[in-house]
Structure 1
Amino acid sequence: MSKLKFIDLFSGAGGLSEGFMRAGFSPIAHVEMNKDACDTLKTRTAYHHLKDNNCINIYHQYLKKEISREEFWNSVPINLIDSVINTEISKKTLNPLFAQIDSSLEGEKVDLIIGGPPCQAYSIVGRARDPKGMVDDPRNHLYKHYVGFLKKYNPKMFVFENVPGILSASNGSFLKKIFNAIDRAGYNIEIPSTKHLNSKNFNVLQDRKRVIMIGWKKGSKYKYPDFEERPVQYNLGKSLFSDLPKLKHGEGSLGIVKYAKPITDYLQETGIRNGIDFTTQHIARPHNETDLEIYRIAVNLLLKKGKRLNYADLPKRLIKHKNTTSFTNRFQVVNPNGISNTVVAHIAMDGHYYIHPDVKQNRSISLREAARLQSFPDDFFFEGSRTAAFKQIGNAVPPLMAEGIAHKIKEMF
Structure 2
Amino acid sequence: MPNYLDLFAGAGGLSEGFLQAGYTPVAHIEMDEAACYTLKTRVAAKWLKDNGQEDVYNEYLNEKYSRNEFYSHVPEEELSSVLQREISKESLPEIFSRIDERLGDRELDIIVGGPPCQAYSIAGRSRSKTRMRGDKRNYLYKLYAEFLKRYTPKFFVFENVTGLLSAKDEDDAPHFQKMRDLFRECGYSTNYRVLNAKDYGILQNRKRIILVGKRNGAKDYYPEIKQIRTNCMVGEIFSDLPHLHAGEGSPKPTPTLHYEGHYLYDAGIKREDFQPVTLHYARPNTEQDLKIYRLAVKRWTQEHQRIRYTDLPEELKTQKNNESFLDRFKVVAADEKVSQTVVAHICKDGHYYIHPDIEQNRSLTPREAARLQTFPDDYFFECIRGGFSRTTAYKQIGNAVPVRLAYCIAQALLPEFE
Give TM-score scaled by structure 1 length: 0.96
- String of CA shifts for 1:166-195, please: whole Å, max 9, x gaps: 111127610011011101111001112xxx
Looking at structure 1, the residues matched to 279 and 217 of structure 2 have their Cα atoms a distance apart, in angstroms, of 48
- State whether residues 226 and 412 of structure 2, in contact with CA within 8 Å, keep that contact through their aligned partners in structure 1: no
Offset of 1:277 from its aligned partner?
3.4
Residue correspondence of structure 1 range 50-65 to structure 2 within 5 A: 50-65=48-63
From 106, 109, 119, the equivalent of 2:107 is: 109
Tell me what 2:85 maps to. 87
Looking at structure 1, the residues matched to 303 and 148 of structure 2 have their Cα atoms a distance apart, in angstroms, of 52
Secondary structure in 2 matching 1:378 = coil
- State whether residues 284 and 365 of structure 1, in contact with CA within 8 Å, keep that contact through their aligned partners in structure 2: yes
Looking at structure 2, the residues matched to 92 and 347 of structure 1 have their Cα atoms a distance apart, in angstroms, of 33
Offset of 1:253 from its aligned partner?
0.2
Offset of 1:58 from its aligned partner?
1.3
Write the letter of the residue equivalent to 1:363. Answer: R
Tell me what 2:391 maps to. 387
Tell me what 1:181 maps to. 182
Residue correspondence of structure 1 range 129-278 to structure 2 within 5 A: 129-170=127-168, 173-192=174-193, 196-219=194-217, 223-237=221-235, 239-269=236-266, 270-278=268-276
Secondary structure in 2 matching 1:257 = coil
- State whether residues 222 and 412 of structure 1, in contact with CA within 8 Å, keep that contact through their aligned partners in structure 2: no
From 401, 410, 413, the equivalent of 2:414 is: 410
Tell me what 1:22 maps to. 20
Write the letter of the residue equivalent to 1:393. Answer: I
Mark the runs of 5 or more structure 2 residues left unpaired by the alignment. 384-388
Tell me what 1:350 maps to. 349
Looking at structure 2, the residues matched to 4 and 14 of structure 1 have their Cα atoms a distance apart, in angstroms, of 18
Tell me what 1:331 maps to. 329
Write the letter of the residue equivalent to 1:181. Answer: L
- String of CA shifts for 1:20-58, please: whole Å, max 9, x gaps: 011111111100000000000000011111112222111
In structure 2, relative to structure 1, the CA distance for the partners of 1:206 and 1:219 (3 Å cut) is: closer
Write the letter of the residue equivalent to 2:265. Answer: Q
From 95, 118, 125, the equivalent of 1:127 is: 125
Which deviates the most, 312-321 or 119-128? 312-321
Tell me what 2:3 maps to. 5
- State whether residues 183 and 189 of structure 1, in contact with CA within 8 Å, keep that contact through their aligned partners in structure 2: yes
Looking at structure 1, the residues matched to 9 and 393 of structure 2 have their Cα atoms a distance apart, in angstroms, of 14
Offset of 1:222 from its aligned partner?
9.6
- String of CA shifts for 1:321-374, please: whole Å, max 9, x gaps: 221111111111000011210000101111011000001110000011011010
In structure 2, relative to structure 1, the CA distance for the partners of 1:328 and 1:215 (3 Å cut) is: same
Offset of 1:98 from its aligned partner?
0.3
Offset of 1:146 from its aligned partner?
0.6
In structure 2, relative to structure 1, the CA distance for the partners of 1:212 and 1:219 (3 Å cut) is: closer
Write the letter of the residue equivalent to 2:412. Answer: K
Which deviates the most, 227-236 or 89-98? 227-236
- State whether residues 119 and 135 of structure 2, in contact with CA within 8 Å, keep that contact through their aligned partners in structure 1: yes
In structure 2, relative to structure 1, the CA distance for the partners of 1:409 and 1:39 (3 Å cut) is: same
Mark the runs of 5 or more structure 1 residues left unpaired by the alignment. none
Q: CA RMSD in A?
A: 1.5
- 1:365 paired with 2:364, answer yes
From 275, 278, 281, the equivalent of 1:280 is: 278
Looking at structure 2, the residues matched to 219 and 246 of structure 1 have their Cα atoms a distance apart, in angstroms, of 52
Looking at structure 2, the residues matched to 228 and 342 of structure 1 have their Cα atoms a distance apart, in angstroms, of 21
Looking at structure 2, the residues matched to 388 and 53 of structure 1 have their Cα atoms a distance apart, in angstroms, of 30
Offset of 1:108 from its aligned partner?
0.8
- State whether residues 10 and 399 of structure 2, in contact with CA within 8 Å, keep that contact through their aligned partners in structure 1: yes
- State whether residues 216 and 222 of structure 1, in contact with CA within 8 Å, keep that contact through their aligned partners in structure 2: no
Which deviates the most, 163-172 or 347-356? 163-172
- String of CA shifts for 1:299-321, please: whole Å, max 9, x gaps: 10011000011112211221112
Write the letter of the residue equivalent to 2:313. Answer: P
- State whether residues 200 and 232 of structure 1, in contact with CA within 8 Å, keep that contact through their aligned partners in structure 2: no
User: How many residue pairs end up in the alignment?
Assistant: 407
Looking at structure 2, the residues matched to 40 and 219 of structure 1 have their Cα atoms a distance apart, in angstroms, of 35
Secondary structure in 2 matching 1:279 = coil
Looking at structure 2, the residues matched to 274 and 392 of structure 1 have their Cα atoms a distance apart, in angstroms, of 23
Looking at structure 2, the residues matched to 220 and 47 of structure 1 have their Cα atoms a distance apart, in angstroms, of 39
Secondary structure in 2 matching 1:17 = helix
In structure 2, relative to structure 1, the CA distance for the partners of 1:277 and 1:229 (3 Å cut) is: closer
Secondary structure in 1 matching 2:158 = strand
Tell me what 2:116 maps to. 118
From 395, 398, 401, the equivalent of 1:397 is: 401
Offset of 1:229 from its aligned partner?
4.3
Looking at structure 1, the residues matched to 411 and 227 of structure 2 have their Cα atoms a distance apart, in angstroms, of 16
Offset of 1:274 from its aligned partner?
2.7
Give TM-score scaled by structure 2 length: 0.95
Looking at structure 2, the residues matched to 201 and 220 of structure 1 have their Cα atoms a distance apart, in angstroms, of 26
